[in-house]
Amino acid sequence: MDTLLLVLRVGLSLAVVIVLLWMAQKRWSKGSRPAAETDLQVVSRRSVGQKASVVVVDADGRRFLLGVTEHAINVLHDGPAPVAAPVAEPAFAHSMQEAGVRQDGMADAGPLPLRARHHRPKQDALSGSILSSRTWQQAGAAVRKGLNL
């Protein structure tokens, strides 16, 4: 009789633990479900009141202006989403020109100049670590500079 009670207690305890784990998994996995197949991007959001805002959303090649309140979402305007043209950064374009690469991505004829733009001193394995003496020297110099010593 004692063995039967022990088996029932262990079984009941195991069932309770399994149910609790299942409930916790259901509760915390709500946000991890895969999103719908539509391409949705929030472009901008502006608050216009305590509980109201205006949101610009791109979805499936369309741009929507939405009015969002506590109780409703209304489409204020919609139209085709603008296509963003790639913008070349002037610094990047200048670097590419110095490297001898034309606008179409092909290299210019002729040798490319070899320049060492950024020279880094050789670093040991402890560089930047709290165990490095150089780190302690830099920290001391920073403290002395802060204290005007």
DSSP code string of 36-81: PSS-EEEEEEEE-SSS-EEEEEEETTEEEEEEE-SS-EEEEEEEEP
Whether 17 is covered by a domain: the verdict is yes
* Angle subtended at Cα 19 by Cα 18 and Cα 20, rounded to the nearest 5 degrees: 90
Residue 11 lies in a domain: yes
25-48 average pLDDT score: 75
pLDDT at 3 over 90: no
pLDDT at 96 over 90: no
Average pLDDT score over residue span 12-39: 78
pTM for this structure?
Answer: 0.36
Half-sphere exposure of 110 (CA within 13 A, CB side): 9
Residues 72 and 44 in one domain: yes
The segment with the largest mean pLDDT, out of 86-90, 106-110, 113-117, 139-143, is 139-143
CA pair distance 29, 37, nearest whole angstrom: 19
More confident residue, 134 or 118: 134
For residue 74, tell me if it sits in a domain.
yes
Q: What is the pLDDT of residues 39-94, one digit of tens each?
A: 788 888 998 888 899 999 988 888 999 999 999 999 998 888 887 666 656 776 77
SS3 content of the chain, % helix, strand, coil (to 5): 35, 20, 40
Distance CA 127, CA 134 (A): 7
- Count of C-beta atoms within a 10 Å radius of residue 21: 10
User: Would residue 54 count as lying in a domain?
Assistant: yes
122 in a domain, yes or no?
no
More confident residue, 32 or 15: 15
Overall number of domains in the chain: 2
Give the structural domain span for 49.
40-80
